[in-house]
Amino acid sequence: MPGETNFGNIAPTLAGVGARLSPAQLRLRVADSTRVNPGTPMPAYYRTEGLNQVAAAFRGKPLLSAQQVEDVVAWLATLKEAR
């Protein structure tokens, strides 16, 4: 439709990610995926320095707390089966 932004699938599937990556590898990707892939469109959920185009209200603040990062990692680690 005119004026709508189209979104698509720009990320790999999460199916089986817990079998492919260790918790440490998952944590790195959630906290700051640019350390693995500098060109990734995925945001850094925990890094706060060296970011571009951050709204003033969010500068210096991570998107997720350390506990939330650990919760996401724990959930991703359960995804063992590829579909």
Q: Which superfamily is assigned to 17-77 in CATH?
A: Cytochrome c-like domain (1.10.760.10)
User: How much of the chain, in percent, has pLDDT values that exceed 90?
Assistant: 52
Q: Report the mean per-residue pLDDT for the chain.
A: 88
For the whole prediction, is pTM greater than 0.85? no
2-29 pLDDT, tens per residue? 666 666 677 778 899 999 999 999 999 9
Tokens standing for residue 67: 């506990």
Which helix or strand (DSSP H or E) is residue 19 part of? helix 17-20
Nearby residues of 31 by Cβ (< 8 Å), 6 or more positions away:
44, 45, 46, 47, 69
Cα 82 to Cα 38: distance, rounded to the nearest angstrom:
26
